[in-house]
Structure formats: structure tokens, C-alpha cells
Chain A
Amino acid sequence: MRVNVAIHPRLRVAPLVVVLLVLMGIAFVVAMIRYANGIGAISDLSYSYPWGFWISFDLFTGVAIGSGAFVMAATVYIFQLKEFQPLLRPSVLTGLLGYIMVVIALLVDLGHPERIWYMMIYWNHTSVLLEIGICVMTYLTVLAIEFSPVVFDGRKWNKAAHFVHRFIMPFVILGVVLSTLHQSSLGSLLLIQPAKLYPLWWTPILPVLFFISAISIGIAMIIFESSVSSRYFHRGLELPLLEKLGRAVPYVLGLYLIVRFTQLTISGKLPYLFTSGIMSVLFWTEITVGAIVPLILFSMSRVRKSPTGIFVAAVVLLFGMILNRFDVSWFSVKHPDPLSYLPSIMSNVKYLPTLPEMSVSVGIFAFGILMFGLAAKYLPLFEEEHH
């Protein structure tokens, strides 16, 4: 590296890259402080709020927006709709980077990051978290395999690329199964809190709702990242493909709404819809922004056929569905009120993520964006496969 710098003294680095590197640097320093002085030194997490911003953003949102990978893998390999091939590689990369980011975030959030591998050998089979841990670790491997042909193509290792291709199907199916399991299990993670989660959100079918919404999030993410990267990397937008993909969204969201409201009706929770104050507001916001509005937008061919229209529709969906993940994992969780039973030194029922806490997530996110940029620049990410 030094040699290169010496030969090209006017090394030009895009300003965005500098910003990303600075953000990563800040996150690194903050993480070091956390490793030295404890999680309390950088975050507002407490006895009452053992999980906060990191879990809602890095784990729940991170895994959800990684769902594009399995949606595309299923579309291209299982349903063999080969026309969608150009969208496959970027979405697999997003998934791969997304899950790497989840793991990095967990290395900050876990009390004992050096023991993360204990999940591979000490199994408590009743734990939903164990299932998620194992699925995520295995799925990371699968994603790496699914992505490896891109690297091989880039290096012109055609034999290796060919080899992976011949045996890719079992891995694709395994990947879709693992995705189904852990996308839904993120919902199951909260099933153990029937007394803490607000009734509008706690339902035995949380895993089903999580899975259906993950599909819609996956499609929206593919549209989102294609739009952004087409602008940033000055390449053509696969609008006809995105338009076709977008046609699926109203069906997915329609199913989501039907399942969700049927469940609320059956369990007699409809009165909560309008009588829960801020909880009702949160519920209607996530339903409107995450499902109803995108359902309408994606149903209109005028919106789907416009680059801006389909982009906005995808962003709206993402906002609403991410709010849903925050609601379920944070906003609607009612912790026991320690004011009534904790000595004052411990009563800290309020939780507001601190700046250092959020800077860790931001830094990890910056890492993801930088990696995507590098891959887009140095790997045949947006090229069609050719053998």
C-alpha cells in the first residue's frame, strides 16, 4: 500500500468514503470503551431495559432488510424466473453484508462476545435465541457460498465458479429454509413476553407475521438498493424487472393485513385499536405506512413504472415495516415498573439510546455501505452471469 501512495501522491478518495471511514473510526473507539468499562459506559441499557437500540436496529432491522437475499434466491433458483438474474447478486451481497453487520453488532452487545461460539456447542433446545443464532451462523455460510461465484468470476476462476454452480441448489434450498426459520423466529423471540408486550403486538402468530412482512421488506430493499446504486454508480436501472417484482407487493401486504386483523378479531383485541393512546397511534402508523399506503402505491402501475414512484413506494414500506420491528422489540414492551420495587439507585425505567450507543450502529452501517461500494467497484456485481 505504501508504495502505491508514494507513486500516486494525489490519491483521490471520494468524500463519501472519508465520511464512512470516520464513522467507522468513531464506532471502533466507542466499542473499545465498552470493552474496557462495560456496556453501561456507552449505553443507557439498564436492568429494566436489557435490550434497546442495538437489538431493535442492528438485529431486528438488520435481519429484516437482509431478506432480499432469500427472496431473490427463491425467485431465481426455486421458481426459476431467470429474468430476475440481474437482481440476484446485489441482493445476495446485501444479505451477506447485512448478516455480517448483525454479527459485528452482537459482538458489541453481548456481555461475553468471546463466547459467541458457545451457541454452537451448548444447546438449550427450548431457546428461540439459540435457533436464531444457529440459523444466522449457518445462513452466513450459505450466503458466502451463494456469493462466491461473483468473486470467482471476478478473478476469472471459471472452473471454481462452475463447480459452485453445479451444486448450488441444495444450498439455495437450505438458505431459504434457514431464512424462513430465523425471519419468523425473530418474532418468536418475543413470544416469551406475553405479560410485557402490549396486547396489540403479542400474538402466538408473531412468527407468521414476521415472515410475511420479511418478504415485503425483501422486495422493497431490492427496489431501494437498485435505485440507489443505479444513481450512485451511474448504471442503468432495471426498471422493467423492478416493476414486475413490485407487482407481488400488494399480494404480500394484503395477506399480511388479512392475517393480522383476523388474528386481532379472533382474539378479541379490536377494542385496543382505538383505546390504547400512544400504542394505538404506533399501531396505526406502522399499519398505514408499512402496509396500507405501500399496498395502494404498488397497485398503481403508474407508480411502479416511474423510477421515482417505485423508489418512494419502497422507502415508505421500509419505514413502516422498520417501525413495526421497533414497536415489537422496544416501543410496545412494557417492563415491570421498578419505581415501585427497586431501590432508587436502580430505578432507571426510562431508556433513551445514547449518542455513543447509536454511533456504534451507525459505524457498522457505514462499514456495510463501504463494503457494498467496494464490491460494486471491484467485483462483477451488476453483470449478467456468463459461462
Chain B
Amino acid sequence: MSDIKSIQHKAFLFDATRCIDCRACMMACSVENNIAMDKTRIWVAGVGLKGEYPNLERASMVYHCMHCEVPACKSACPVGAYSQREDGPVLYNKDLCIGCRYCMNACPFGVPHFDYDKGLIEGAFIDKCTMCPQRIDNNEEPACVATCPTEALEFGERADLIKEAHARIAAHPDRYVNHVYGETENGGTSYLILSHVPFEELGLPKLDETPVTKVSEAVMGITIPFAVTWGAVLTGVTLGVRAYNKKKEAGRTQDAEANSEQPAEQSK
């Protein structure tokens, strides 16, 4: 998509063949961001064990915010609680959130989560991965990446990681599905995935290259011009009908007017 933009973007690369399902990333995220484990921003997806002994296979995937190049949550939020940093992270501002949960509907990956167990006083908010901007600004990798023992999660410039991913597929075409998930999905995401099993088995939706926001933003773009035109048309119709009725009225004799008080009441 927009190449200049994506060159600047930071990204994750996840290699499912390297993940050992230790879930250290979940712990690290929880500690770094002070998130309760049951509200984790990372969840490890798994297809479990497949096949018959001794030919067993398993696959797991670390799943968190995809930090889309064109974030649907940001497009959907009525009050602009979402923003996107120049280097990629999609951030959420809880001070603006009205709790409508439209972002949860909009996100094709089902990432944003909501505090269903909090009342008005505690305050119910959306939560999702932030890409640890506090660490990025400190020249550190996000907590999940820093803690990963097998380098299944890596962090860097998006363009570099895409190259790296393709190089890995080229080096081991037998090992990987020949596709880097996130390179084009939903207009590109900053979370890139390599896998040895079909991506659907990891729970990833099939998405077009076109961002999901395209049609809705196009419709929003024509809303104001449409409203103005429609208002003008309706005004025209009103005046037209009024003129037509007056002509018709005048065509008839005046005794219609003299007889009845009703029809002519408020038109003047």
C-alpha cells in the first residue's frame, strides 16, 4: 500500500515454527503494562496436537493488536479516541472513550476488549496492545519481544521484517506456508506472521488487500455534499409544489376561497 508510510513503521514478526507455547510473552506484557492476567492484551492461540503418534504436530500463535496500517478502530471511533503514531503503534485514549464498542465491531481481528465487569464508578474501558511505546521511546523492544526465549517474536522496521520473512520462506520453502500474513491483509498490518500451518488454523481471518474501512469512509466522504444537495432538492420541491398549488388555486374561481377557511390557513 502506502510505501513511504510503511517504511517508517515499526512492526513485529512472529514465526509460528519457533513458538514453543511457553506464554512468557503474556506474563511479560502483564507485568510491563500492569494488566491483570484475565484481561491480557496477548493471547496464545493454538490448534493443539494434531496427527497420530509418532507423527505429531502442533502450532500456536501469539495474538495481539495487529497495528494495522489503516486501523479500522481509529476510523470507526466516533470521538477519535484512537490515534496512530508516526512509527506505527495504534493507541487508545481512555479519556475520550464513550464505551460504544464500535471499535470492537470494526476490528476484523476482534482485538479491542471491553471491561464488562466494571460499573460506572470503576469505569469500563477498552483495552488492547499498545506496542509498548514507552519502551520504544527508550530504544527497547516491546516487552513480549524482549522476553521471547526462542525469537519467535521479533521487532524492527516493517520493511526490513518483510524482507526477512520472505528470505526465511525462500530458505525453507518446505517449512513455511508461502505467504507473509499481514503484508497485505487489510491494507497491511504491523504484525507479520510466518506459519507452517494454514493461517485459518491459527485463528486469523481471511482478508482482502483493501482495508475494511474503504467503503464506509467513501460513504462518509460524500455525506456532507449529499446532505446539502438533498436539502436544496427538497427546498426546490417545496417551492415548486407551492407554486403549482397556487396556480391551480388561482385557476379556479375565488368562491372556493370564500367558502372554505381550512385549506389556505398557514401557507402564507
Chain A residues proximal to chain B, CB less than 8 Å:
34-41, 43, 45-48, 50-51, 74, 77-80, 82, 109-116, 118-119, 122-131, 133, 165-166, 169, 173-174, 176-177, 180-181, 185, 188-189, 191-196, 204, 207, 333, 335-338, 340-343, 345-346, 385, 387
**A78 and chain B: residue at smallest CB distance:** B238
Do the beta carbons of B38 and A345 come within 8 Å of each other? yes
Given A181-B223, A192-B72, A336-B205, A122 and B238 contact (CB-CB distance below 8 Å): no
Chain B residues proximal to chain A, CB less than 8 Å:
38, 40, 43-45, 47, 61, 63, 72, 74-80, 96-102, 104-106, 108-110, 113-125, 201-203, 205-208, 212-213, 215-217, 219-220, 223, 226-227, 230-231, 234-235, 237-238, 241-242, 245, 263, 265-267
Given A48-B110, A112-B99, A173-B231, A129 and B205 contact (CB-CB distance below 8 Å): no
Contacts of A109 in B (CB 8 A): 100
Do the beta carbons of B117 and A38 come within 8 Å of each other? yes
A-B contact sample (15 more), CB < 8 A, given A41-B119, A80-B245, A111-B101: A38-B122, A39-B116, A80-B238, A110-B100, A111-B98, A112-B124, A119-B78, A124-B75, A125-B220, A126-B213, A127-B75, A127-B78, A127-B220, A176-B234, A189-B102
Point out which of B75, B99, B216, B226 has the most chain A C-beta atoms below 10 A from its C-beta.
B216
Do the beta carbons of B116 and A80 come within 8 Å of each other? no
Give CA–CA (A79, B239) in the complex, Å: 10
**B45 and chain A: residue at smallest CB distance:** A341
Q: Can you list 17 A-B contacts with CB-CB less than 8 angstroms, sorted by A residue number?
A: A41-B119, A50-B101, A82-B263, A111-B125, A112-B99, A118-B98, A122-B78, A122-B80, A124-B75, A126-B76, A127-B77, A127-B80, A169-B238, A177-B227, A181-B226, A181-B227, A195-B205
Q: How far is the CB of A207 from chain B (nearest CB, A)?
A: 6
Contacts of A180 in B (CB 8 A): 227, 230
Contacts of B101 in A (CB 8 A): 50-51, 111
Contacts of B45 in A (CB 8 A): 340-342
Do the beta carbons of A337 and B203 come within 8 Å of each other? yes
Q: How far is the CB of A251 from chain B (nearest CB, A)?
A: 17
Q: How far is the CB of A263 from chain B (nearest CB, A)?
A: 13
Q: How far is the CB of A353 from chain B (nearest CB, A)?
A: 14
Give CA–CA (A128, B222) in the complex, Å: 12
Do the beta carbons of B124 and A111 come within 8 Å of each other? yes
**A121 and chain B: residue at smallest CB distance:** B79
Given A38-B117, A48-B110, A78-B234, A195 and B80 contact (CB-CB distance below 8 Å): no
Other-chain residue from B44, B106, B245 in contact with A192 (beta carbon distance below 8 A): B106
Other-chain residue from B38, B63, B78 in contact with A133 (beta carbon distance below 8 A): B78
Q: Considering the complex of A and B, which 10 residue pairs feature the smallest CB-CB distances, nearest first? A: A111-B99, A40-B116, A341-B203, A341-B45, A124-B80, A50-B104, A130-B78, A50-B101, A340-B203, A191-B216
